[in-house]
Structure 1
């Protein structure tokens, strides 16, 4: 009889890997994800804590940036095989927001999509252009016969069901019609939004700001997404958010989100 192994793929905006390393290590030890995409490292390549992660059982590839941005991919028990660093389409873009690798037989693209605030303005224009570039790359990835996960902090609130108070966020870049349309077109390529697939119409959040005890009151946003191509969607078994990480003292304003997939 063929036995199926379950793998957990996660995404976590750490909001500064130097300050949040204890939180990250505690989460890795407790939840044991197999593949992890990290965002907002806020650290140079030299400052990335590769040794501490290796001691925890995780190999890593990363693309750092001093004080800002930065993305990484971790894999339990091995070093991911990096296939791409930086989103193609703009050779002058120096922001560290995209990394792609193969780990445990899965192609994983980790992204930190631009916030876009304030809008309108150049930061919002950059966000929309970045999403266009992402769409072009995603169109290639979604069609691969191999399992592919496109995961990270998308800085997109897809629907009003993904925010505790839509009216309070109406002017924010994360909720603008152009942004939602771009995310919708991405899904139309054939990607499955795994959290929404598993939770249906139930509300689930991945981010809670630091104001007015929003984390404790569960007044959040769903902006961290895990998109699966058809080859991986058929193996989807579960998904969730480890909100307990957000409720720790001096935590990131995001919590890890994850999917479990069965691989033969």
Structure 2
């Protein structure tokens, strides 16, 4: 079973990229972020024609998350994180797919830091960590996949010294990610590539892609009930070089079939 996460940076404007990648990579489950489209403008028809059922949580111009399932319909279990009824951002959706609970998330960027946006990021992280603790306690297969907007370690950023004060790399954010993982979640890509410099994002500016000046922002965290099934993990880097590409590339994992 192949599960991927992909910040598409505008699902309609980059639909051709998404459909091409779906056809070539054939993931079984996909978590999308930054749809930048209200619910009514989600391209459900085109995605269905590609062979995928979908649930989505859109928002005009900003944010937006979706879960796609190849050959089946995801069963939605939640949209939006608990803990702040006034939060109107479309940043979390959850669905059951083939016996696995999939949480798709788009964590706030938080810049400029310090400031209100950074405070919102940390508060959202706290809500995610509290909710994840409940999922972890269920002792069922769970994958929390998405754009976390954090580089957990120096290995996840091309020049750490340039990012020390950025909201994606400040100590508070890395500590929050560590606290989440320390509940017992496996950072799948890092687990299989412990010493490798792997990126999932390259900015549009300053020839970042050409210089391989990247960041690892997109993560797949696995609960203990599914982590032993992990067999492979990686990033489809080449997608970032396609015409009209997102500034992110898809990150993915492969899971073995469960023991009967």
Match runs of 1:75-90 below 5 Å: 75-90=69-84
* SS of residue matched to 1:215: helix
Partner of 2:211: 217
User: Structure 1 length normalisation: TM-score?
Assistant: 0.96
Q: CA deviation at 1:212?
A: 2.5
* SS of residue matched to 1:83: strand
User: Structure 2 length normalisation: TM-score?
Assistant: 0.98
Q: CA deviation at 1:216?
A: 2.4
Partner of 1:233: 227
Partner of 1:31: 25
Partner of 1:4: none
What is the count of residue pairs matched by the alignment? 258
Q: CA separation in 2, counterparts of 1:216 and 1:242?
A: 16
Answer yes or no: is the 8 Å Cα contact 1:63–1:70 preserved in 2: yes
Find out whether 1:251 has 2:251 as its counterpart: no
Q: CA separation in 2, counterparts of 1:166 and 1:87?
A: 31
Partner of 2:118: 124
Partner of 1:65: 59
Partner of 2:158: 164
Answer yes or no: is the 8 Å Cα contact 1:70–1:96 preserved in 2: yes
Structure 1 residue runs without a partner (length 5+): 1-6
Partner of 2:100: 106
Deviates more, 1:142-151 or 1:61-70: 142-151
Answer yes or no: is the 8 Å Cα contact 1:11–1:224 preserved in 2: yes
Q: CA deviation at 1:217?
A: 2.3
Structure 2 residue runs without a partner (length 5+): none
Answer yes or no: is the 8 Å Cα contact 1:39–1:71 preserved in 2: yes
Q: CA separation in 1, counterparts of 2:85 and 2:120?
A: 14
Q: CA separation in 1, counterparts of 2:49 and 2:239?
A: 21
* SS of residue matched to 2:111: coil
Q: CA separation in 2, counterparts of 1:217 and 1:232?
A: 36
Find out whether 1:154 has 2:148 as its counterpart: yes
Find out whether 1:189 has 2:222 as its counterpart: no
Partner of 1:242: 236
RMSD of aligned alpha carbons: 0.7
